[in-house]
Amino acid sequence: MTERAIRPRDRDVILQALAAGVVPRTGLRHVQVGRAAEVGALVRDIDRLSDSGAAIRFVIGEYGAGKTFFLNLVRLIALERKCVTIHADLAPDRRIHASAGQARGLYAEAVRNMATRTKPEGGALASIVERFVTDCMNEAGKRSKPVETVIDERLAQLQEHVGGYDYATVLKAYWRGSEDGDEVLKASALRWLRGEYSTKTEARQALGVRNIIDDNDVYDALKLLAAFVRLAGYSGLLVVFDEMVNLYKLQSSQARNQNFEQILRMLNDVLQGNFAGIGFVLGGTPEFLMDTRRGLYSYAALQSRLAENSFARDGLIDLSGPVLRLQNLTPEDLLILLSNIRSVFAHGDPAKHLVPDDALPAFMEHCNRHVGEAYFRTPRNTIKAFVQFLAVLEQNPGTDWRELVGKVDVVADAEASRDAETEDGEGGGDEDLASLRL
């Protein structure tokens, strides 16, 4: 197999992230393996957005099973298909429904992370609004009409949605700021669109609108944003929320149920075809989904809609429903993954491989003896150990890899890991139950 050259910057980003047990923001194509069926299902969902459809998926997997990696890969695919993506991790101070600013905080964080194909790192809101204004100005020139008339015509459909009048007013304020060279007005408009105003008085003084995007308006604001990015010429909006397990960890049953009600609204709108051009991908653990006391299954309406196909068992799968369970990586997938990491270390040059092919199955066999099948079921720490293994070989030329692999210390303490996960309160980014270290 021909290996692709890897830029030094991409190499460093990938290796630093993998060594820390987190997902790299760039270069995912260099390490992606397996799960072709799951990726294909999400690609079909993304294509549905372009066809004026909607989609929702609950991506479910154990800690360390690769949910965050999978969600980032899905976002990159959406960007390639001319969608706009926004993403955020839920946390104790960020959730879908709240009354003390936590929901607005989630929205603001997600919109700050807004990305397009030309701005994949985030911060794309200003460029999207600018593109919309520029298109309106070009159309006005072709039709010999005032720019404001064209903007009003385009934004008319936004006013059919809850909060649409204020949304249109803010977008027109941005255009006026652009026309007059008023950077303060433009910044105020973007601040409003990001949900960063905390009081209506401040927003009225800056923009002349009576409302702001607040805790109670987050879902409606997401729908308005999806409608707007389509007006700006994009295929649709993909909303990615990770660490949904933080809803499961909420102590208040009332708070959990209020968040579950918002999820039910999303699910009903998508399944009933009430809205176009928006997709949701929500990442969580099996407990978040199936716990009948605190998970989604504790809410009867959600349990009935998210119940899995009873015929999909004994190796049979069904990827048509809203719940997508990440299948375990096979040992063959993990072998390819370790090979890809070895290639990243070598900048994509086979002549610079730090270890021969024999080292890969030897490393896997070592992990299998100490951890068992969990080493490929939740592969994060196996990957961390392999990156550390290659790092030592790279920095200590002449070291025999056979001697080094025997020194990998395996500490398997599932209870301690689960306790740490619970105390952390933020999911810790999908920690494994076993820790491998050099």
Yes or no: say if 430 and 68 are a contact pair by the CB < 8 Å rule: yes
Listed residue (414, 410, 328) closest to 363, CA to CA: 410
The values of phi and psi at residue 278, to 5°, are -130, 140
pLDDT at residue 4 in the model: 64
Give residue 181's Cα distance to chain centre.
Answer: 36
List C-alpha distances in Å: 160 to 150, 207, 324. 17, 21, 33
What's the rounded Cα separation, in Å, for the pair 417 and 397? 35
Residue in this structure with the two tokens 């716990």, named with its chain if needed: 291
| Helical spans, DSSP H, in 194-252 | 200-207, 218-231, 245-248
pLDDT at residue 190 in the model: 97
Cβ-based neighbours of 199, under 8 Å, separated by 6 or more = 212
Question: Hey, what are 216's tokens?
Answer: 């109670």
Cα angle for residues 288, 213, 276 (degrees, 5° grid) = 65
Question: Hey, what are 167's tokens?
Answer: 């949304």
Q: Is 332 exposed, middle or buried (0-12, 13-18, 19+ CB in 10 A)?
A: exposed
Give 239's strand partners. 86, 280
Give residue 348's Cα distance to chain centre.
Answer: 27
pLDDT at residue 380 in the model: 76
pLDDT at residue 275 in the model: 87
Yes or no: say if 89 and 299 are a contact pair by the CB < 8 Å rule: no
What's the rounded Cα separation, in Å, for the pair 343 and 365? 20
Give 325's strand partners. 60
Q: DSSP label at 116? A: B
List C-alpha distances in Å: 389 to 340, 404, 407, 409. 14, 8, 10, 11
- Measured in residues, the chain has a length of 438
Question: Taking each helix axis from N to C terminus, what angle separates 218-231 and 253-271, rounded to the nearest 10 degrees?
Answer: 30
Question: Hey, what are 152's tokens?
Answer: 């009003």
Taking only the tens place, the pLDDT of each residue in 310-355 is 787 766 777 888 999 887 777 888 889 899 999 999 888 899 999 9
Q: What is the pTM of this model?
A: 0.82
Q: Which domains does the chain have, with CATH numbers?
A: 35-123+235-325 (3.40.50.300), 125-215 (no CATH), 331-437 (no CATH)
pLDDT at residue 324 in the model: 92
* Upper half-sphere CA count for residue 175 (Cβ side, 13 Å): 21
Question: Hey, what are 296's tokens?
Answer: 């989604």
Question: Hey, what are 363's tokens?
Answer: 């490393």
Question: Hey, what are 337's tokens?
Answer: 């993954």
What's the rounded Cα separation, in Å, for the pair 115 and 124? 5
The values of phi and psi at residue 206, to 5°, are -85, -35
Ranges in the chain, pLDDT < 70: 1-4, 314-315, 370-378, 406-438
Yes or no: say if 65 and 218 are a contact pair by the CB < 8 Å rule: no
Question: Hey, what are 218's tokens?
Answer: 């987050």
Taking only the tens place, the pLDDT of each residue in 48-74 is 998 999 999 999 988 777 888 889 889
pLDDT at residue 65 in the model: 74
Yes or no: say if 150 and 139 are a contact pair by the CB < 8 Å rule: yes
Q: What is the largest CA-CA distance in the chain?
A: 77
pLDDT at residue 430 in the model: 40
pLDDT at residue 86 in the model: 97
Q: Is 410 exposed, middle or buried (0-12, 13-18, 19+ CB in 10 A)?
A: middle
Neighbouring C-beta atoms of residue 230, cutoff 10 Å: 21
